Structure 1
Amino acid sequence: MADDARADGPESAPAGDARTEAVGGGGAPVVALDASALMAPVEADLRLFEELDRLLGGYEAVVPATVIAELESLQAGNGAEATAASVGADLAERAEAVATDESYADDALVALAAAGRVDAVVTNDGPLANRVLAADAPVIGLRGRNTLAITEP
């Protein structure tokens, strides 16, 4: 996704922008975390929960069970990806695990967003972000080196 929004495309909102308050509609927003977001502390030097605190204030984080399974599968390997997945699995314990009917992690995240069970999805996966935006839900993703921003549909 491009950092600059087009007039006919998704809009990005930096912290403090009025659109950041739209996520959650006044209450504490529920955000779903995907594997790429949970692995970002290692892969992008992102302080994930501190950035979410900065961007949203209070929020509730959830992780689909399929994302947890994906992280477990990835951490069984070797190298940097396995290390990032191991850290991601540890971070996932700070969120509530949620069940869905979908067997694929990306499908579970899109289903949660489309059903209104979450207010936004946190991801650094471009194709997933596009699917979430198409489901009319905001995406929180990496902007710049290690900062999160909200992209509205």
Structure 2
Amino acid sequence: MPRVTDRDADTRGDAEDAPTVILDTNALMMPVELNVRVFDELDRVVGDADLVVPGPVLAELEKLAAAGNGTEATAAAVGRDLADRCRVVGTEASYADDAVVELAADAADPNDDDAGNAGYAVTNDRPLRDRLLERGVRVLGLRGRTTLQITEP
């Protein structure tokens, strides 16, 4: 069973030791759909981090935003704008969930010299969360209504 932990912001590392945090589509839509201040929560739980959005996630946000009116389209448009706070990274995967798994697993690989201070993925998608945990990736998801928590593999 996965272990859930919170890390206080006072335990932040140096900038060069900052962990990589991969954001999924629904993570960037949380501010509108769930009233979650996702970047404030990431700062509280993880501290300084290298925030990354896979290219396919950005494409999915653009597609959802262009799909019409309604809360989902608004949330996707806001998420697309919030992605400007992150580094967009291309992947070989064309499907957003596969891209998140690919990048997060690379960031979490302790045998990879380029992995830095391990990694996290932010998602509330249960099947994606399970895939990430199986690959050894720590997952940030909602606890309660507006708070993020870490689930350890």
- Structure with higher helix content: 2
Find 1:86's aligned residue among 50, 74, 77: 77
Q: Deviations over 1:99-145 (max 9, x none)?
A: 10001000011111222356010111111111000111100111101
For the residues of structure 2 that align with 1:76 and 1:84, how far apart are their CA atoms?
11
1:139 equivalent to 2:131? Answer no
Q: Shift in Å at residue 86 of structure 1? A: 0.5
Q: TM-score, normalised by structure 1?
A: 0.86
What letter corresponds to residue 61 of structure 1 in structure 2?
L
Q: TM-score, normalised by structure 2?
A: 0.86
Find 2:26's aligned residue among 23, 31, 36: 36
3-state SS of the aligned residue for 2:127? helix
3-state SS of the aligned residue for 1:115? helix
Paired residues, number? 141
Report % sequence identity.
Answer: 53
Q: Are 2:23 and 2:121, in contact at CA under 8 Å, matched by a contact in 1?
A: yes
Find 2:45's aligned residue among 36, 48, 55: 55
- Aligned 1:2-151 pairs, distance under 5 A: 9-16=1-8, 27-77=17-67, 78-116=69-107, 119-151=119-151
Q: Shift in Å at residue 149 of structure 1? A: 0.5
Q: Shift in Å at residue 16 of structure 1? A: 3.1
The runs of 5 or more residues in structure 2 that have no matched partner are 108-114
What letter corresponds to residue 129 of structure 1 in structure 2?
R
For the residues of structure 1 that align with 2:49 and 2:106, how far apart are their CA atoms?
18
For the residues of structure 2 that align with 1:13 and 1:107, how far apart are their CA atoms?
25
The runs of 5 or more residues in structure 1 that have no matched partner are 1-8
3-state SS of the aligned residue for 2:85? coil
